[in-house]
Amino acid sequence: MQVARNKVVTISYEVSEKGKGKLEDGTLDYLHGFKNLMPTLEKFLADKKEGFSGKVEMGPRDAFGEINPELVMQIPKTQLEKPEEIKAGMQIELESEEGIIPALVTGVGDNEISVDGNHPYAGKTIMFDVKVVKVRDASAEELAHGHAHGAHGHHH
């Protein structure tokens, strides 16, 4: 079967930073044609068949975005719940006008903490080494929800 709109595609992947090394790997089910993947990666996989493997390189704009300096912030401890429990290296969630932003605590001072809300891979040129493991027809429920369900997809 071929990768196309309304198909659930299982891919195995390895993500690496160009010229540096592996960042992560895994297996993912996604519903093709529903903007569940980065557009460049989804376009690369279109019309491929089970068993296909290939590599695609993406600059920051097409992958995880450029580094946004506005997401690197100092937050007064008085604005935080349980500031004494916050340590450098922790992931925390910040509330913003756009919703919840996950952020990495990069430093803890006496009166404030430093956080970075950029994606950890922001600003990097990324290589996706991807293999199409399986392609199947999406169920009516998956089409209605706009995403894949199952072992490597979304769970309700």
pLDDT band at residue 137, thresholds of 50, 70 and 90?
Answer: very high
Is the pLDDT at 135 greater than 60? The verdict is yes
Q: Compute φ and ψ for 148, nearest 5 degrees.
A: -80, 150
pTM over 0.75? The answer is yes
Is the pLDDT at 124 greater than 60? The verdict is yes
Cα 108 to chain center, whole Å?
A: 26
Question: How far apart (Å, rounded) are the C-alpha atoms in residues 137 and 126?
Answer: 30
Average pLDDT for 131-151 = 94
Closest CA to 9 of 32, 37, 27: 32
Q: Are 36 and 148 in contact (CB under 8 A)?
A: yes
Q: Please, what are the domains in the chain?
A: 7-60+124-145 (3.10.50.40), 69-116 (2.40.10.330)
